[in-house]
Amino acid sequence: MNTPHLPVSLIGAPTDIGAGSRGASMGPEALRVAQIGPILQSHGLEVADRGNLAGPSNPWLPPVDGYRHLAEVTAWNRAVHDAVHAELALGRLPILLGGDHCLGLGSISAVARHCREDGKKLRVLWLDAHADFNTNVLTPSGNLHGMPVACLCGHGPQQLIEIGGQVPAISPKWVRQIGIRSVDAGEKRFVHQMGLEVFDMRFIDEHGMRHAMELALATLDANTHLHVSFDVDFLDPDIAPGVGTTVRGGPSYREAQLCMEMIADTGRLASLDVMELNPALDVRNQTAELAVDLIESLFGKSTLMRDRG
């Protein structure tokens, strides 16, 4: 399959407002230093870099009612929602450069709004070491980057869950989680209760990335908008040390490439988040470079190379 891609818009969201360690605020610039724009252009894509969004600084305070920095997280997510929705309305493919993963809420609630307006079905692939399905009662930390999927499904503070204009923004049935290997005890029960479809590392060990992705991408049709929310901690920390919440036993380089290539083969990718890259913890920007390498595959690098020959 060789579907021409939509024009791409890069949107930087330089904040670590929802994270448990500082530094993801530098993620957008590290991805630019790793040449994300020019490399996508080299594959024939039209790329516009919209620069960085602005928002409140990180006051680094303890949780209040189980949430850290709720007001600031809300402000950042509103900004992300508006920016992502504007690019979709222009017929473009937004790539959100995070920033911590709490911003997946603003991004995906905008995508869901766009799908309602356009009469499209939505499928969300959540590539992550964590389920990000905590609530203020379940969370051990109060960090909102552990809660965006629950918020999208309508479980969270009112000011966050209503950002996309409809509560819940999405159904848990639209989500496929891949690479999961660290879930808190109460969160695990809640994931099962809500019926999220999870392809955890045990599944990938036993059945392989290929089978996991075949199932995660099954039943996509021509009217489906495919959103990928890529938390860089999805990857094994041996190859991707530059994240704040590393968990051993993630996908290898080849498994991650296969995952991205199989998504590219569907021709349905319509929006993307690249989240949690933390240059303060990286080694000579290698994690940013790896993320860009994988994003190339997500946009069909291998397909294009094959076609050229």
In the complex, which residues of this chain contact Mn ion (CB under 5 A)?
A: 101, 128, 132, 231
Give the list of residues 6+ apart from residue 265 with CB closer than 8 angstroms, or none. Answer: 1, 300, 303
Name the catalytic one among 184, 187, 231, 282.
Answer: 231
Torsion angle of alpha carbons 175, 176, 178, 182, nearest 10°?
50
CB of 109 to Mn ion, least distance (A): 16
Helices (H), the chain: 27-33, 36-42, 70-89, 104-118, 148-152, 158-161, 185-194, 201-216, 253-266, 286-298, 301-308
Q: How far is the CB of 267 from Mn ion (least distance, A)?
A: 26
Catalytic residue among 16, 72, 273, 276: 276
Name the residue nearer to Mn ion (CB basis): 40 or 274.
Answer: 274
Residue 213 to residue 178: CA distance in whole angstroms: 8
Dihedral (C-alpha) 225, 226, 230, 236: value to the nearest 10 degrees? Answer: 170
Would residue 82 show up in a list of annotated catalytic residues for this protein? no
User: Any catalytic annotation for residue 192?
Assistant: no
> 6 or 76: whose CB is closer to Mn ion?
76
Q: Which is nearer to Mn ion, 87 or 128 (CB)?
A: 128
205 has catalytic annotation: no
For the chain, helix, strand, coil in percent to 5 are 45, 20, 40
130 is catalytic: yes
Shortest gap between Cβ of 177 and Mn ion (angstroms)? Answer: 10
Catalytic option among 72, 128, 184, 273: 128
Q: Is 87 an annotated catalytic residue?
A: no
Is 118 tagged catalytic? no
Nearer to Mn ion, 19 or 47 (CB): 19
Active-site residue flag, 221? no
- Picking from 288, 277, 281, 242, the residue whose alpha carbon sits closest to that of residue 24 is 277
Minimum distance from residue 91 beta carbon to Mn ion (Å): 28
Minimum separation from the CB atom of position 230 to Mn ion (A): 9
CA distance 285 to 289: 6
Place of tokens 């099962």: 192
Between 37 and 148, CB nearer to Mn ion: 148
101 is catalytic: yes
Instruction: Enumerate the active-site residues.
Output: 101, 128, 130, 132, 145, 231, 233, 276
